[in-house]
Amino acid sequence: SPIAIFGLGHMGLPTAALLAKSGLKVVGIDINNKTVEMVNSGQSPIMEPGLEEMVKETVENNCLSATTDSLSAVQEVRTIMIIVPTPVDEHKESDLSAVISASQSIMEGLKEGDLVIIESTVPPGTCENMVIPILEKSDLKAGKDFKVAYTPERALPNNTIFEMTHNARVIGGIDSESTRKAASLYQRITEGEIIMVQDLVTAEMVKLMENTYRDTNIALANELALICDTLGVDVIEAIRAANHHPRVNIHTPGPGVGGHCLSIDPYFLVEIARQRGRETPLIKTSRQVNEEMPREVVRIAQQALEDMGKTIQGSKIGVLGVAYKGNVADARETPAKPLIEQLLNQGAEVVVNDPYVSPEIIKPWGVQPVDMDTALDTDCVILVTDHDLYRDIKPEMIKNGLIICTRPILDKETFQENGVIFKGVGRS
């Protein structure tokens, strides 16, 4: 039977396209007219390998369509999915307005026997305490009259299609029938194992545990890097050696943690724990450590420039990469932004190269997007993003002989042997 999906973003659109490709009729609902128009003309508003082809094919086959009219879409289907964004506000509190508004729209068209699946990342307890009460305003009872399941999306941006069709999927429902029904739907699109958990809140918690695990471990790697800096130990060499231990997997230090997930999801745990009278010192400190990293990179640049008799003030600095990670066009929560702000505050002239991120995103930061050669012809080059094409940078391309390489993608020795001063986070 047909499916309605609220949210045609980074996760919603690939899910819609995959379900449509599996032979189901899928209607995507989005508040953004431009997104709806693009999808209906077979285009993808999101840069994601393989996605545009799939959207084009499924739209042409009449399996996928998009609309802003949620009520008629909901009335025509038996399964409704919520895959809308859940950011945090300036107080690092979850902003669930998109989930609330999708739930209200679903409530208006909800029928007996419908299955509602929530995929948006939410503070644990949200399905039970917020989504279901809204849906029950329809006078239908969750579990008895309609089914509810939660399944977190865990696909990695830039590899979304592959991971959506291969990763294990965790599903928890309000009852076992809800869980089973949702599971059989996802079986259509994934070869990965389907793990059914006890209930909604367990499934909600799993997602936050995963991303908090990553964020906390990256914070540990970053803190270890800062200690290595004071000791003259190369942290990358030390981590490679340590990771030969069969039970150790130290993550990679860098300029900080960006993206829409790892830098946000831990705050959902902090928030829900606080409401229940629990402090979360480890999780909070990890966030702080990662958020401090751009400042540490500025400090490293400052030191290196001083060693050459210069200062940040008055120097020209070339930033390589503003995307939050390699080979993506996404600059949400990127550590490059605070880094650039601090360099500008200290009086540097900053130019920026990123082959993926659009100039419209970069210009409001008060810096000029330039080509790579221009960025390399500066007093100090700071490599922020591990785009693959930066791996081809050679020592002679660093015109003024100084690079701060915050990602382990260039060989330190090669640069040093050729007279370039090569610094990094934990690589003094």
Question: Catalytic residue among 21, 147, 181, 207, which?
Answer: 207
- Please report how close the Cβ of residue 218 comes to ligand SAJ at its closest, in angstroms: 4
In terms of CB distance, is 397 or 409 closer to ligand SAJ?
409
Q: Check if 284 is active-site.
A: no
Q: Give the separation between CA 82 and CA 73, rounded to whole angstroms.
A: 13
**3-state DSSP assignment of residue 65:** strand
In terms of CB distance, is 157 or 424 closer to ligand SAJ?
157
Please report the DSSP string for 14-37 in residue order: HHHHHHHHTT--EEEE-S-HHHHH
Q: Give the separation between CA 423 and CA 404, rounded to whole angstroms.
A: 5
* Residue at 91: amino acid letter: H
Report the residue closest to ligand SAJ, judged by CB.
261
Q: Please give the helix or strand (H or E) that residue 332 lies within, else none.
A: none
In terms of CB distance, is 99 or 218 closer to ligand SAJ?
218
- Tokens standing for residue 241: 């050696």
- Give how far the C-alpha of residue 268 lies from the chain's centroid of Cα atoms, to the nearest Å: 15
In terms of CB distance, is 153 or 199 closer to ligand SAJ?
153
In terms of CB distance, is 197 or 221 closer to ligand SAJ?
221
- Tokens standing for residue 162: 């592959």
Q: Which residue, 195, 212, 192, 215, is CA-closest to 203? A: 195
Instruction: Write 361-368 long-range contacts (CB < 8 A, 24+).
Output: 361/322, 361/331, 362/322, 362/331, 365/337, 365/340, 365/341, 366/340, 367/319, 367/340
Strand partners, 172: 150, 197
In terms of CB distance, is 29 or 221 closer to ligand SAJ?
221
Q: Give the separation between CA 366 and CA 56, rounded to whole angstroms.
A: 37
- Please report how close the Cβ of residue 335 comes to ligand SAJ at its closest, in angstroms: 7
Q: Give the separation between CA 84 and CA 10, rounded to whole angstroms.
A: 9
In terms of CB distance, is 114 or 153 closer to ligand SAJ?
153
Give me the sign of the Cα torsion angle 12, 15, 21, 23. Answer: negative
Residues that bind ligand SAJ (CB under 6 A): 153-157, 210-211, 214, 218, 251-252, 254, 257-259, 261-262, 324-325
- Please report how close the Cβ of residue 313 comes to ligand SAJ at its closest, in angstroms: 28
- Please report how close the Cβ of residue 74 comes to ligand SAJ at its closest, in angstroms: 25
- Please report how close the Cβ of residue 257 comes to ligand SAJ at its closest, in angstroms: 4
In terms of CB distance, is 139 or 191 closer to ligand SAJ?
191
Say if residues 39 and 67 touch (Cβ distance below 8 Å).
no
DSSP for residue 335: T
265 φ/ψ angles, rounded to the nearest 5 degrees: -55, -40
Q: Check if 207 is active-site.
A: yes
Exposure of 162 in the CB half-sphere (CA atoms within 13 A)? 6
Q: Give the separation between CA 161 and CA 57, rounded to whole angstroms.
A: 15
- Please report how close the Cβ of residue 10 comes to ligand SAJ at its closest, in angstroms: 8
Question: Catalytic residue among 261, 325, 380, 412, which?
Answer: 261
Tell me the Cα Rg of the chain: 24
- Please report how close the Cβ of residue 254 comes to ligand SAJ at its closest, in angstroms: 3
- Please report how close the Cβ of residue 291 comes to ligand SAJ at its closest, in angstroms: 12
Q: Where in the sequence numbering do the catalytic residues fall?
A: 207, 261
